[in-house]
Amino acid sequence: MTDSDDRTPAERARMLLRDADTCTLATASSAGVPEAATIRFVADDEYNICFNTSTTYRKYENLRANPRVAVVVDGAAGTLQLEGEARELTGTEEDAAVDRYVEKYGHSPYLTHDNSTRFVVETDWARFLI
């Protein structure tokens, strides 16, 4: 990216979400104990992030106790900071998230493990930094 890049910050942020393989998800327990984890993700044009996790992980317990999260996506196009509320997916929403995840990363046994589940972070605040 050069200084002469005429894409809007929103276009650059969406490009970053398409191109990045990982992001950092920050959660906190009900007692406020923080955790940050690097995760793979897929995103939509509204900056909502979908990801897979295991019900045996600390982040799962945190998400169930305190769904407010922060996400940072970093790449050549810039850095995108997001905040929102995480919601566990079920049914057709979950199936669609898995399909998008497989399209981006390929099949993984992690997606079909007995303890696997999917969440969406419904973003309500975003900041893109160049």
Q: Is the predicted pLDDT of residue 1 greater than 50, yes or no?
A: no
> How does pLDDT run across 66-82, given as a tens digit for each residue?
999 999 999 988 999 99
Integer Cα distance of 61 and 14 in angstroms? 29
CA distance 55 to 114: 9
End-to-end CA distance of the chain: 10
In terms of DSSP H, where are the helices of the chain?
9-19, 58-65, 91-105, 109-112
Cβ neighbours of 126 (radius 10 Å)? 16
Average pLDDT over residues 103-120: 93
pLDDT band at 121 (very low <50, low <70, confident <90, very high): very high
20-70 confidence digits (pLDDT tens): 999 999 999 999 999 999 999 999 999 999 999 999 999 999 999 999 999
Residue 98's pLDDT is what? 95
Whether the CB-CB separation of 6 and 20 falls below 8 Å is answered with no
Q: Is the pLDDT of residue 2 over 60?
A: no
Residue 5 scores a pLDDT above 80 = no
CA atoms within 13 A on the CB side of 47: 22
Residue bearing tokens 């490009």: 15
Residue type, 12: R
pTM here is 0.92
